[in-house]
Amino acid sequence: MHPETIAIHVGQACDQLTGAVAAPIHLSTTFERAEDGGFPSGFVYGRDGNPNRHSLEACLAALEGGVEAAAFASGMAAITAAIESLPTGLPRRLVLPDDMYFGIRALIDETDIGARFDWVAVDMTDLAAVKAACAEPTGLVWMETPSNPLIKIVDIEAVARIARAAGALVAVDNTWATPLLQRPFALGADIVVHSLTKYVGGHSDVMIGAVVLRENGPQLTLLRAIQNHKGAVPSPFDCWLALRGMQSLSARMRVHCANAELVAQFLAGHPAVAAVHYPALESHPGHAVAKRQMRSFGGMLAFEVHGGREEAMRFAAGLQLITRATSLGGTHTLIEHRASVEGPQTMAPEGLLRLSVGLEHPDDLIADLVAAFAACSVSRS
Ligand SMILES: *Cc1c(COP(=O)(O)O)cnc(C)c1O
């Protein structure tokens, strides 16, 4: 089956009892035992298993080409579990991207994860730097591509090769690419994590995440134990929403990507714009790698305006249709000044604005950008 078909059919057979085509939501926290004490359905208690979660996990695992997926209450809960499930025996040292999702940075700085794991941050596009970082005993090498906020593209295959040679496991945060645009397991990853809150949910109305593992083994056992006993599980309704989003993901991604390409081209030609970061542009340093490892270039882009922070804020304030809000992957186009969100540790230039290009008509998005640029130059003169 092709991914588009997997997204609609795997883990999603019609309801046997009623024939319902759209899955029912199973709110029950407990499941009846058979006379012999067994559980013929396989479900016992809502924390260790639920039909909606099971369906979502089966579908995501199939899409990524992994052995199993474990769903969590958010992307951050999934990331925490991916790190904590590092099998015993591997060094407690992480090699992370220097432009890692800022929630991971906070997880390390503000929780016990930072005390339990050593870590180093490197520019993952610099393979020599990755190699040098992996010269010390390393348990896990983490990638995020495309990355935040500069939309950098990391060569998954090349970094995975270096990590494996060093005896480390390889994790890829595939949130921005989605399972439809990028298949990390085929490029050498062992672990894929997702914030399904973003493109998979797709409508900015559900918080949920997942870890997918390529192989069965001690890490999967530990991951399931963390999911069940630490208990950061998503609700049945969250799972249902995420799986509903999965069904339309391929259609939505086509529009996100096409719209982003048009908006990037417009921005690249505008005199008020100092730089556009979008991997479809041949000027992007990751263009060739993105073309090789991604099916299409994604819906996220960033651009820098001349004049720094003040001008960037003024521009964003002048938008009428595009919404000033954090997050990404929903139907609405969102804009964000990352430097002010991330604070002093930010890698984002002060003049940088990040766009999650939504599903509106591209002409309306471009008209909104045109008007905001015009308002900026009026207010300046
Ligand atoms: C949003 C995001 C996360 C965190 O996910 P939540 O669902 O907000 O907890 C992790 N990684 C990336 C790349 C993200 O965009």
Q: Express each pLDDT in 140-180 by its tens digit.
A: 999 999 999 999 999 999 999 999 999 999 999 999 999 99
Residue in 53, 99, 101, 105 annotated catalytic: 101
Residue in 198, 252, 338, 354 annotated catalytic: 198
- Residue 380 pLDDT more than 80? no
For the chain, residues classed under CATH 3.90.1150.10 are 250-376
CA 139 to CA 145: how far, in whole Å?
20
Element (H, E) at 141: strand 140-144
CB 248 within 8 A of CB 202: yes
Q: Is 292 a catalytic residue?
A: no
Measured in Å, residue 34 CA sits from the centre of ligand 1 at: 41
Band of pLDDT at residue 346, cut at 50, 70 and 90 = confident
Write out the CATH class of domain 3-247. Answer: alpha beta
100 lines ligand 1 (CB under 6 A): no
Task: Identify the residue whose tokens are 């995440």.
Answer: 209
Q: Is 47 a catalytic residue?
A: yes
According to the model, what pLDDT value does residue 235 have? 98
Work out which ligand 1 atom sits closest to the CA atom of 207: 7
Work out which ligand 1 atom sits closest to the CA atom of 196: 7
CA 293 to CA 296: how far, in whole Å?
9
Q: Is 101 a catalytic residue?
A: yes
For the chain, residues classed under CATH 3.40.640.10 are 3-247
Kindly state the average pLDDT of the residues 48-57.
97
Q: Is 278 a catalytic residue?
A: no
Measured in Å, residue 105 CA sits from the centre of ligand 1 at: 12
- Residue 376 pLDDT more than 90? no
195 lines ligand 1 (CB under 6 A): yes
- Residue 271 pLDDT more than 70? yes
CB 202 within 8 A of CB 66: no
49 lines ligand 1 (CB under 6 A): no
According to the model, what pLDDT value does residue 156 have? 98
According to the model, what pLDDT value does residue 267 have? 98
According to the model, what pLDDT value does residue 344 have? 84
Band of pLDDT at residue 334, cut at 50, 70 and 90 = very high
Kindly state the average pLDDT of the residues 136-140.
98
Q: Whose CA is nearest to atom 15 of ligand 1?
A: 175
- Residue 381 pLDDT more than 70? no
144 lines ligand 1 (CB under 6 A): yes
Band of pLDDT at residue 90, cut at 50, 70 and 90 = very high
Measured in Å, residue 52 CA sits from the centre of ligand 1 at: 22
Q: Among 61-65, 99-103, 156-160, 204-208, which is the least confidently predicted range?
A: 99-103
CB 327 within 8 A of CB 354: no
Distance from first CA to last CA of the chain, Å, rounded? 59
Contacts 24+ apart (CB under 8 A), 114-117: 116/92, 117/83, 117/92, 117/93
184 lines ligand 1 (CB under 6 A): no
According to the model, what pLDDT value does residue 377 have? 79
Kindly state the average pLDDT of the residues 242-270.
98
- Residue 378 pLDDT more than 80? no
Q: How far is CA 115 from CA 87, 110, 227, in A?
A: 17, 10, 21
Residue in 99, 155, 173, 190 annotated catalytic: 173
101 lines ligand 1 (CB under 6 A): yes
Work out which ligand 1 atom sits closest to the CA atom of 103: 4
CA 352 to CA 29: how far, in whole Å?
46
125 lines ligand 1 (CB under 6 A): no
- Residue 239 pLDDT more than 90? yes
- Residue 111 pLDDT more than 80? yes
Work out which ligand 1 atom sits closest to the CA atom of 79: 10
Band of pLDDT at residue 347, cut at 50, 70 and 90 = confident
Work out which ligand 1 atom sits closest to the CA atom of 176: 13
Pick the CATH number of 250-376 from 3.40.50.2300, 3.90.850.10, 3.40.50.720, 3.90.1150.10: 3.90.1150.10
Average of per-residue pLDDT values in the chain: 96
Q: Whose CA is nearest to atom 8 of ligand 1?
A: 75
Kindly state the average pLDDT of the residues 34-59.
96
- Closest Cα partner for 213 from 74, 60, 8, 96? 60
Measured in Å, residue 353 CA sits from the centre of ligand 1 at: 18
Interval 178-225: pLDDT, tens: 999 999 999 999 999 999 999 999 999 999 999 999 999 999 999 999
According to the model, what pLDDT value does residue 214 have? 98
- Residue 379 pLDDT more than 90? no
According to the model, what pLDDT value does residue 68 have? 98
